[in-house]
């Protein structure tokens, strides 16, 4: 079986689904928290 596109990869399908779930979840956050959390987590990584 030859893969013709990245869209056919199971890993891509799972990661895209997870990204969409996170996106939908963050739409429910209050406005001031939408931008706070990514910065907080980014700073924790550094």
pLDDT score, position 42 = 56
Q: Give the sign of the dihedral formed by CA 12, CA 17, CA 45, CA 37.
A: positive
pLDDT score, position 8 = 85
- Helix (H) or strand (E) segment spanning residue 18: helix 10-26
pLDDT score, position 21 = 93
pLDDT score, position 38 = 60
C-alpha distance from residue 9 to each of 5, 18, 21, 36 (Å): 8, 14, 19, 33
pLDDT score, position 30 = 78
pLDDT score, position 14 = 93
pTM across the whole model: 0.56
Domain extent listing, the chain:
6-45
For the chain, which residues score pLDDT lower than 50? 45
């Amino acid at each position: 079986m030859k893969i013709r596109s990245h869209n056919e990869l199971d890993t891509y399908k799972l990661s895209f689904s997870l990204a969409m779930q996170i996106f939908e979840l963050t739409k429910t956050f209050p406005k001031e928290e939408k931008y706070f959390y990514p910065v907080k987590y980014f700073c924790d990584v550094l």
